[in-house]
Structure 1
């Protein structure tokens, strides 16, 4: 049976919160590489949404056109007074991704920027997180994100990602 996406999201967020090496790797490989020691503002995110069960999950947004959507894993970071956000869409081996869903990530991140409700970040990066085979099959959609991170790349930090890959090979 496939590992549920929410379980994979949770494992990723837990590694982000508890593994400084993973945080440094994530930041160093992306557009904010100049800020490898940026602080993850998970406590501030928890405070901003007291009713939420997890600091990283269910950050829903209603865009000006009336559409609503959420970011799978939302994190805000700070370094020397500069705040940035990382918006991650996780797609497990058995997942689907539409072009509209992929394109909405950038629109949502732009809309959320500089607003206190979303911790007033001034810049952002969007990431598709998925197995390499998924990214290859959905290249046009994956290109809507700033970068792709594969399960294979982060399995050393988030072992459940390797388990999801292994499980998908059994199918």
Structure 2
């Protein structure tokens, strides 16, 4: 792996600096997520959702390793930063602590929160990949693209789980039906 930098101009350094800041943000977000996912798994009612969160945690650990590899390649270290994903993690934690939710509603709310986290991460990875390419960091962009692809796979898993949970609760839980009416109608064709 060689040096990927293309520009020595002040603008190039500024862009590299911004890139490292964004890379740090996503690194810190993955670390925060890795700490939160076991809590999500414990809060899930269905075994399938619990295993999905366990797998999500394992993949998040892999993402952290890949991001460390990127920092090493660039000769940089992640800075201290408040993770920009925290608001989404807090939403999931509120769901878990809400004792008024039925088991089905809790799982669906956790799935919804997880989808938002994955979508948020996907958007950040896509932007980071684009910035890496524009800065001439092709090797870094390849690593980021592999993480992005895994995020999109996660999103598909959570969408599938959401449709299955909504369909399986047809007529059983009014709160679930009301909250997820659109998803239910879309999944059943009604």
Range of TM-score over shorter length: under 0.3
Specify which structure has the higher proportion of strand. Answer: 1
TM-score, length basis structure 1? 0.26
Q: Which is higher, the Rg of structure 1 or of structure 2?
A: 2
> Higher relative contact order by CA 8 Å / sep ≥ 6: 1 or 2?
2
- TM-score w.r.t. length of structure 2: 0.24
